[in-house]
Amino acid sequence: MQKTATAAEAAQRKMPDPVAIAIARDAQGKYNPITLTWFMQASLDPPMMAIAIGKARHSLAAIRASGAFVLSFPSAAMGPDASFFGMTSGRDTDKLSRQGTPTQPAAKIDGVLLTGAVANYECRLTGEMEAGDHVILLGEVVAAHVNEHAALGRLFALGENRMGGVLPA
């Protein structure tokens, strides 16, 4: 039997949610990471990714201004980074430097990849749609990268601000 709940209560039941980190160059020239759980693959051919970004986020202005973003899938060990990127705004903080997160240059866009992630997509912004208090940004994947270590676990949000890793079977 189902019982009536709020949408927020129902959302807690769908955990664990895979975590992603989007990185974009901001107006100050620094690469700013934001932790996300609202993202999806939106097209196979061409490959496209969609992310939902809150209207008040520093990242929204950064992605719109640069016209590109990296979508990175953090490994199980990257919980502290994802936590910090998801609790702190890049408006006044250089989050990547503060955490000492290893990065490497993107190949096709002005961006950086997260070296420890299981995979990184380089995306060019192709469109956006307002969705209540968020904006859905659509990016075409112009390059993809995977970690040379295939057996790294993925990072998941467990609900109530907790995150944990899940290792591949």
Ligand X SMILES: Cc1cc2nc3c(=O)[nH]c(=O)nc-3n(C[C@H](O)[C@H](O)[C@H](O)COP(=O)(O)O)c2cc1C
Per CB under 6 A, 25 contacts ligand X: no
Residue 120 to residue 143: CA distance in whole angstroms = 8
Work out which of 42, 47, 89, 136 binds ligand X, going by CB under 6 A: 89
Quote the least distance from Cβ 74 to ligand X, whole Å. 10
Q: Omega of the bond prior to 46 within 30 degrees of 0, cis?
A: yes
Question: Site for ligand X (CB under 6 A): how many residues?
Answer: 21
Residue 66 to residue 139: CA distance in whole angstroms = 12
Per CB under 6 A, 84 contacts ligand X: no
The residue type found at 127 is G
Quote the least distance from Cβ 45 to ligand X, whole Å. 25
* Nearest by Cα to 113 from 127, 98, 125, 123: 123
Per CB under 6 A, 36 contacts ligand X: yes
For 122-156, the DSSP string reads EEEEEEEEEETTEEEEEEEEEEEEE-S-TTPPEEE
Nearer to ligand X, 36 or 125 (CB): 36
CB-based closest residue to ligand X: 86
Per CB under 6 A, 70 contacts ligand X: no
Q: Rule CB under 6 A: which residues touch ligand X?
A: 19, 32, 34-38, 52-54, 57-59, 86-91, 134, 157
